[in-house]
Amino acid sequence: MAIAAPKAPSSSRKSLYLSGAIALAVVAAIGLNTTVVRIGSEADVRQQVFSPDAFGEAEFPRIKSFVTEKALDAATIAPEVLSDKVAAGKKYGTVSSTGAIMMVRVTGVLGESKAGNYDLAVDGMPADIKVRVQTGPAINGTDLRDAPSDIEFGAFKNQIEYQDAGSGINRAMKKAVLDGIDTTSLTGKTVEVVGTFRLGNPKNWLITPVSVVVK
């Protein structure tokens, strides 16, 4: 004769039912709060990673407009720069702890190039001031990033990202301004340049351009 298996106590069955209901509720809640993200979509986490080049492409046009609007004739401001660089920086430039960013326009004849930086002979400039123009292939410094004064460290995750932002802007400038010019054979040519330089040594101006017109 078969012996029937003992039934689980009523309280045990209730506990099992309750546990099952809770598990189903948890699964349902997870489903409601889960978003399916397609690879490559705007919601893709990889699209949210900071891109220096995308940042530079977005920011350079307005930086160019800012610098062009603020740029003054280099020979005009040169005497004040030599006389009192701090006062000149406050009057004409964007104040920075590492030297004011000056916005200038200049016409001159390019001399010899060293590491992509051309000497620029400019009529009316004091003999004490050496002017050079960056043409690459590498564009150095953060003058373009710092010129408008509103691209601040606090908007970035860390110092590396902040530095990369400046590099991205430099690359965007090179693509827009310099890549269409044969920068290896400019010696002896007359150019019109609008750009920025950091006012550290008042006798040494290294201009990062936002526009270059070869005559």
What's the structural domain count of the chain?
2
pLDDT, position 1: 47
In a domain, 65, yes or no: yes
In this structure, the answer to whether residues 111 and 137 fall within a common structural domain is yes
Q: Hey, how many other C-beta atoms are within 10 angstroms of the C-beta on 72?
A: 15
Which residues form the domain of 22? 11-49
Q: Is 33 exposed, middle or buried (0-12, 13-18, 19+ CB in 10 A)?
A: exposed
Task: List residues bridging with 102 in a β-sheet.
Answer: 197
Same domain, 93 and 143: yes
Rounded-to-integer distance, Cα 200 and Cα 197, Å: 9
Residue 6 lies in a domain: no
Q: What is the 3-state secondary structure (H, E, C) of 42-72?
A: CCCHHHHCCCHHHHHHHHHHHHHHHHHHHCE
Report whether 78 contacts 129 (CB < 8 A). yes
Global pTM reads 0.78
Same domain, 30 and 40: yes
Distance CA 197, CA 139 (A): 12
Instruction: Please give the average pLDDT of every successive group of 10 residues along the chain, which has 215 residues.
Output: 51 59 57 53 61 97 98 97 97 95 98 96 96 96 97 94 97 97 96 98 98 96
